[in-house]
Amino acid sequence: MAKYILKRVLMAVITLFIVICLTFFLMNAVPGNPWLSEKTPTQATIDALNAKYGLDQPVIVQLGKYLENLLHLDFGTSIKMQKDRPVLDIILTMFPISAGIGAIAIIWAILVGVPLGCLAAYKRGTWVDSLLRVICTLGISMPGFVVATMLLHILTGGIEGLKLFPTMFDGTAKSYVLPCLALGFYPMCYLSRQTRTAMLDAINQEYIKTARAKGLKNKKIIFKHALRNALIPVITYLGPQIAFTLCGGFVVEKVFSIPGLGRYFVMSIQNRDYPLIMGTTIFLAAFIIVMNLIVDLLYKLVDPRINLAKGGN
Amino acid sequence: MAEKKKKQPFGSLRPDVDDILDWNNLPQDAFEPASSAEKESFIQDRESVSYWKDAWRRLRRNRVAMVAMVIVILIGLFAFVGPLIVPYTYDQVIPGANNIHPWHYSLEDQAAIDAYIEEHTGTANLSPDEAVAQAEAEAEARGETLSPVEAAKIRATAKANQGKGEENVTEKDAAKALGIKVKPFGYTQAELERMAAGESVFPHVFGCDNQGRDIMVRTMIGARVSMIVGICCAIIVLVIGALYGSISGYCGGKVDAVMQRIVEIIYTIPEVLVILLLGSTLKPIFEEFQNSGDGFLQQMVTLLGANLISIFITFGLLYWVTMSRLIRGQILQLKQQEYVTAARALGASGGRIIKRHLLPNCIGQIVTTTFLQIPSAIFTESFLSFLGMGVTAPMTSLGSMCSDALGGLNTYPYRLFIPAAILSLMILCLNLFGDGLRDALDPRLKK
């Protein structure tokens, strides 16, 4: 186990390093520079600005310096969007908003998706199953922005008399409803499909036959024996799903004008604010990688039969 | 005799005694040699059923998959043939067509509506001074005087109403009051006049956008971009994934170990972040390259468009991993089979074994995975375009059309819903057809 954890952590660090280097070189390969937008500055001004932010040195030197600073949790300062404000400070004020919406979304997705999947498996072959299958297939075929804009249009006054929620995000509980609903819809459908497959798999297992032979009640068989085992494969999907929800936030944050990290990340790319792009990418990447790592390790805790050290799939 | 037979439980191994005794009662002529005509009719010539024919037969029985296929073909026709039929182009600005709806009023109706609006907005459109004068006159008639506070109030409301006045009676209200019904398809004023003169004009079926560009053509081009992106990305993923996976699986040992570590690392890279980053950084790089000269490569870039190439590269770099894992797994399993050993004993080279023996045996899975890559690529492309990092103006895609429509969502909801519906329908049908394909090509997987 210890060896496995060590291996995974090492892997995660290497991945993060690759992401950092990739981001860094890409940023530097882009033609144009961050000073171009407003008035075209003179060459002397550009040189002075480059010297101030260390952009005049060779790329490798810049990368080395950046990595060194990163070890001290110094992400540098923003050079354009919010001039001279530390990047870490910006991230820490924006991330909680995104994380809050993402967390609520994933929680409702689990709370609704898993029971729906169970229901579909339990009522297999009936109209309930068919209906749920249609909804879920539709749900995973609609891009996030379609769901988000449809909700936005229908529930904020597009249809007369249905102005239930505010259009703009203002931090009140009511304004959280739509973004969370939109963000959690895809994972909900996905989880429900996965749960259904896993449940059907579990129901055909020998231990369910044994449980039936023992004369256990149907409910007990479903919840205690089938569901518990069916949840194991579902957990594997949770890691990427959390990452997806966080990134799906890009779209939802744009549609509902939420001042979150996802929208800011996109804006910083469009504005070529190098330190900010680097900072947000590294932060989000680290978050996603750690999340995946945690879910993988949880997997082992939930099902002791899985022997991770031997590279079990 | 038949009723004497005991019913045996299904699958019982006990011999059926009655049946065996029955054999003694065979007719005398039961063992006569067959005539040559009988022999002829016994041998039936059937064409051998190939793997693909068999799969097609299974696929045809799957009703959902067939409906999905028909819809995909229809969308394909819409996207590829449609622009040839419609006389407008995706970047053509039609004069006077700004913001026209996908419906219209005939010329006489329009005139009636305009007159109605003018008539009914007249009263509401008093200037503040006029309003005060009117109120004073009314007050005098009642024998009172108007206090300065009240006058100021009236002035303020009149001022506030002034701008709104014209919007108080909208076209919709006017049409309702006059009992005029809308006719489908949008036409500009000039086009309506030309039609009245007897010319035939192609309608703007979905209306026009705020710059006067025909939305239907833009939707067609957008769907075409989505399909091209989907198919090209699937091919790129197939080529890289199949090569990498089969080499890794076939070589095994240290080569496999190293190659799989690389795969694992790419697998853990948060793809959406990198896609956003690559999508936005590769584009300017390619644009610069495109403008740098006039060589063959530059012309290729111009032909395909810088942004499409950057999307292809992004996909090529990240999405082959799943494919390569799948193929490696299959090859690892297949290379233990006897026929591979036999081929090796006969002296076949590694490349030949991969090409002739290993790949054809996992073709079903490869085709399915490649096909399912198409909707996922379309999904990602629309996501990129929606965020403004995919296909850029004047080129369009379904994602960027949705993004453009966000601004006027309340007034022009159809501008968002038409491309969104086509996009969702396309992804849905591709997914359903892919599922059907999987069941048909690999019946073992069916649950």
Residue pLDDT, tens place only, A77-128:
777 777 778 888 888 888 888 888 888 888 888 899 888 888 888 887 788 8
Question: For position B329, what pLDDT does the model report?
Answer: 83
pLDDT in tens, B45-55: 777 777 788 88
A121 belongs to a structural domain: yes
Range of the domain at A217: 94-265+302-310
Q: Is residue B29's pLDDT more than 50?
A: yes
**Is the CB of A59 inside 8 Å of chain B's CB atoms?**
no
Q: How far apart are CA A120 and CA A131, in angstroms?
A: 9
**Is the CB of B332 inside 8 Å of chain A's CB atoms?**
no
Task: Flag if B284 and A31 touch (Cβ within 8 Å).
Answer: yes
DSSP string, B41-108: HHS---PPPPHHHHHHHHHHH-HHHHHHHHHHHHHHHHHHTHHHHSSS-TTPPPTT-TT--SEE--HH
Q: How far apart are CA A285 and CA A265, in angstroms?
A: 12
Beta-carbon contacts of residue B275 (< 8 Å; ≥ 6 apart): B314, B318, B380, B384
A66 belongs to a structural domain: no
pLDDT in tens, A155-201: 776 666 666 677 677 767 777 888 888 888 888 888 888 888 888 88
Q: How far apart are CA B169 and CA B177, in angstroms?
A: 10
Of B208 and A244, more confident? B208
**What is the arithmetic mean of pLDDT over B97-124?**
68
Give exposure, A32-54, as e/b (b: 16+ Cβ within 10 Å): eebbeeeeeeeeeebeebeeeee
Of A54 and A154, more confident? A154
Q: How far apart are CA A283 and CA A16, in angstroms?
A: 10
pLDDT in tens, A9-54: 888 888 888 888 887 887 777 666 666 655 666 777 777 777 776 6
Residues of A in contact with B386 (CB under 8 A): 143, 145, 251, 254
Residues of B in contact with A146 (CB under 8 A): 402, 420, 423-424
Question: For position A244, what pLDDT does the model report?
Answer: 66
Residues of A in contact with B432 (CB under 8 A): 137
Question: For position B2, what pLDDT does the model report?
Answer: 46
In the numeric block, the tokens 């002829």 are attached to B40
End-to-end CA distance of chain B: 43
In the numeric block, the tokens 């309608």 are attached to B203
**Is the CB of B409 inside 8 Å of chain A's CB atoms?**
yes
Question: For position B1, what pLDDT does the model report?
Answer: 43
Cβ atoms within 10 Å of B364's Cβ, excluding its own: 20
A236 belongs to a structural domain: yes
Band (pLDDT 50/70/90 cuts) for residue A313 is: very low
Residue length of chain B: 447
End-to-end CA distance of chain A: 15
Question: For position B165, what pLDDT does the model report?
Answer: 45
Q: What is the CATH number of the domain that holds A135?
A: 1.10.3720.10
Of A77 and B399, more confident? B399
A131 belongs to a structural domain: yes
The secondary element (H helix, E strand) that includes residue B184 is: strand B183-184
**Is the CB of A143 inside 8 Å of chain B's CB atoms?**
yes
What percentage of residues in chain B have a pLDDT greater than 70? 78
pLDDT in tens, A3-18: 878 888 888 888 888 8
Q: How far apart are CA B426 and CA B434, in angstroms?
A: 12
A20 belongs to a structural domain: no
A276 belongs to a structural domain: no
Question: For position B393, what pLDDT does the model report?
Answer: 65
Question: For position A312, what pLDDT does the model report?
Answer: 40
Q: Is residue A76's pLDDT more than 60?
A: yes
Please say whether the beta carbons of A183 and A245 come within 8 A.
yes
A274 belongs to a structural domain: no
Measured at the CA of B316, the angle between CA B313 and CA B319, to 5 degrees, comes to 135
**Is the CB of A136 inside 8 Å of chain B's CB atoms?**
no
In chain B, which residue's Cα lies nearest the Cα of A250?
Answer: B387
DSSP string, B408-429: TTTT-HHHHHHHHHHHHHHHHH
Question: For position A245, what pLDDT does the model report?
Answer: 74
**What is the arithmetic mean of pLDDT over B285-289?**
75
Please say whether the beta carbons of A183 and A249 come within 8 A.
yes
**Is the CB of B260 inside 8 Å of chain A's CB atoms?**
no
* Least confident window among A180-184, B316-320, B390-394: B390-394
Q: Is residue A310's pLDDT more than 60?
A: no
Band (pLDDT 50/70/90 cuts) for residue B85 is: confident
**What is the arithmetic mean of pLDDT over A120-147?**
84
Please say whether the beta carbons of B443 and B58 come within 8 A.
yes
Q: How far apart are CA B386 and CA B406, in angstroms?
A: 10
Q: How many domains does chain A have?
A: 1
Mean pLDDT across chain A: 78
Q: Is residue B140's pLDDT more than 60?
A: yes
Task: Flag if B264 and A11 touch (Cβ within 8 Å).
Answer: yes
pLDDT in tens, B232-260: 888 888 888 888 888 888 787 888 888 88
Question: For position A172, what pLDDT does the model report?
Answer: 73
Cβ atoms within 10 Å of A174's Cβ, excluding its own: 11
DSSP string, B210-225: TTS-BHHHHHHHHHHH
Please say whether the beta carbons of B228 and B308 come within 8 A.
yes
**Is the CB of B265 inside 8 Å of chain A's CB atoms?**
yes
**What is the arithmetic mean of pLDDT over B62-80?**
87
A24 belongs to a structural domain: no
Question: For position A152, what pLDDT does the model report?
Answer: 80
Task: Flag if B269 and A149 touch (Cβ within 8 Å).
Answer: no
